[in-house]
């Protein structure tokens, strides 16, 4: 019952909008940003941090927790590499702690060995972290990154393509398994390769994708414990790494369980996802948003925000 309550609370918090919004074009994203800025109180943390265009010129630090914090000394992942390309450039969310940038560059190269041509990198963090104007509840301290479940093409995408093209939905119409017309063994291979990286603590995928991983993983299943089901995440997988060693300002998560996560927990996620999409919709007004302010974030985030 506790797990069910937790899953329902999570569903209420994130819904399925994130899966769609991750694919919004530049025009759609800018329209939503303008609406949020127009309606938010002036001290809303997501507005204050969402307007920052450059990193805080301070020593690299992750401050606070994944869903309530900020970061100093961020590093930008270059928008082009031999084995990666950054998507949705107008969002300016290709910032992270150096450890995450190193991981993505390394994973993009290692992916070639398992048949994955290269990474299309989606949202990482804002230049100074913090709550985002649109989308994610996490990604606030430079230790999260979204990787599209679409392999990189063998050419450099134009800026317009990066702003308008959509990733591929990997989940079938029943939302209980992957779509066999688009899911390949290479998808499993790149997720497994990411999970095997030493600094990775969690990878979030849609419960339907976790179902496919559980079925097709074979005898080597140790890496599956890091792969956690989460609504949305049907166009991309979300990589999370541990707090950097010695960073006392960073609040890490407890390690995931040691099992493969392919039992009742996954079944519960699938059932609740199916009910949320196909079950009767509850009527009533949505709860008003509670706007996080600087007072809700660690005190050091004030210094990060004003650093020049």
| Residue in 90, 78, 110 with CA at minimum distance from that of residue 25 | 90
Cα–Cα separations (whole angstroms), residue 51 to 54, 60, 98, 200, 280: 9, 20, 22, 29, 39
In the chain the first and final C-alpha atoms are separated, in Å, by 49
CB 241 within 8 A of CB 143: yes
Residue 241 three-state SS: strand
pLDDT attached to residue 136: 86
Q: CB-based contacts of 90: which residues, under 8 Å, 6+ apart?
A: 26, 29, 30, 163
- Give pLDDT tens digits for 180-217: 999 999 999 999 999 999 999 999 999 999 999 999 99
Distance CA 96, CA 258 (A): 28
Model confidence at 22, pLDDT cuts 50, 70, 90, reads low
Q: How many residues does the chain have?
A: 308
pLDDT digits (tens, 9 = 90+) for 232-281: 999 999 999 999 999 999 999 998 888 999 999 999 999 999 999 999 98
Helix/strand/coil for 112: helix
User: CB count, 10 Å around CB of 2?
Assistant: 6
Question: How much is the pLDDT for 21?
Answer: 60
- What is the full DSSP assignment across 123-179? --B-TT-SS-SSS-SS--SS-EEEEESSPPPSSPPPHHHHHH--PPP-B-TTSSSB-
What mean pLDDT do residues 25-43 have? 88
Q: What's residue 30's pLDDT?
A: 87
On the 0-12 / 13-18 / 19+ scale of CB atoms within 10 A, 76 is middle
pLDDT at residue number 9: 45
CA atoms of 187 and 229, how far apart (whole Å)? 16
What is the mean predicted confidence (pLDDT) over 65-76? 98
pTM: 0.91
**2: confidence class by pLDDT, cuts 50, 70, 90:** very low
Better-predicted residue by pLDDT, 78 or 288: 78
Give residue 12's pLDDT.
40
Is the confidence at residue 18, as pLDDT, over 50?
no
The DSSP secondary-structure symbol of 243 reads P
Mean pLDDT over each residue of the chain, to the nearest integer: 91
Higher-confidence residue of 11 and 225: namely 225
Question: CA-CA-CA-CA torsion for 241, 51, 28, 289, nearest 10 degrees?
Answer: 80
Distance CA 140, CA 161 (A): 27
The label of the residue with tokens 């961020």 reads 74
pLDDT bracket for residue 282 (50, 70, 90): confident
Convert the pLDDT of each residue in 131-172 to its tens digit.
Answer: 998 888 899 999 999 999 999 999 999 999 999 999 999 999
Q: In the prediction, which pLDDT does 11 show? A: 45
Torsion angle defined by CA atoms of residues 151, 222, 65 and 272, in that order, rounded to the nearest 10 degrees = 80
The H-assigned helical ranges of 233-299 are 264-278
Whole-number pLDDT of residue 225: 96
Instruction: pLDDT band for 14, please (50, 70, 90 cuts).
Output: very low
């Amino acid at each position: 019952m506790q797990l069910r309550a937790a899953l329902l609370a999570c569903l209420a918090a994130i819904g399925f909008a994130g899966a769609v919004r991750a694919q919004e074009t530049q025009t759609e994203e800018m329209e939503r940003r303008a609406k949020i800025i127009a309606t938010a109180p002036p001290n809303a943390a997501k507005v204050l941090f969402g307007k920052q265009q450059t990193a805080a010129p301070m020593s690299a630090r992750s401050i606070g927790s994944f869903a309530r914090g900020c970061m100093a000394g961020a590093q930008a992942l270059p928008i082009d590499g031999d084995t990666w390309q950054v998507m949705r450039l107008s969002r300016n969310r290709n910032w992270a702690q150096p450890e995450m940038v190193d991981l993505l560059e390394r994973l993009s190269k290692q992916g070639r060995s398992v048949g994955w041509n290269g990474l299309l990198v989606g949202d990482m963090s804002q230049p100074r972290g913090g709550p985002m104007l649109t989308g994610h509840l996490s990604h606030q301290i430079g230790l999260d990154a979204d990787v599209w479940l679409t392999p990189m093409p063998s050419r450099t995408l134009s800026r317009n393509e990066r702003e308008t093209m959509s990733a591929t939905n990997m989940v079938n119409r029943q939302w209980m398994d992957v779509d066999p017309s688009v899911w390949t063994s290479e998808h499993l291979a790149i997720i497994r390769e990411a999970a095997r990286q030493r600094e990775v603590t969690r990878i979030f995928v849609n419960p339907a994708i976790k179902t496919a991983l559980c079925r097709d993983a074979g005898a080597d299943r140790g890496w599956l414990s890091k792969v956690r089901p989460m609504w949305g995440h049907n166009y991309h997988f979300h990589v999370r790494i541990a707090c950097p060693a010695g960073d006392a300002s960073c609040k890490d998560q407890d390690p995931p369980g040691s099992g493969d996560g392919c039992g009742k927990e996954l079944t519960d996620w699938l059932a609740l996802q199916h009910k949320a999409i196909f079950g009767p919709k509850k009527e009533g007004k949505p709860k008003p948003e509670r706007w996080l302010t600087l007072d809700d974030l660690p005190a050091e985030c004030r210094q990060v925000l004003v650093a020049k």
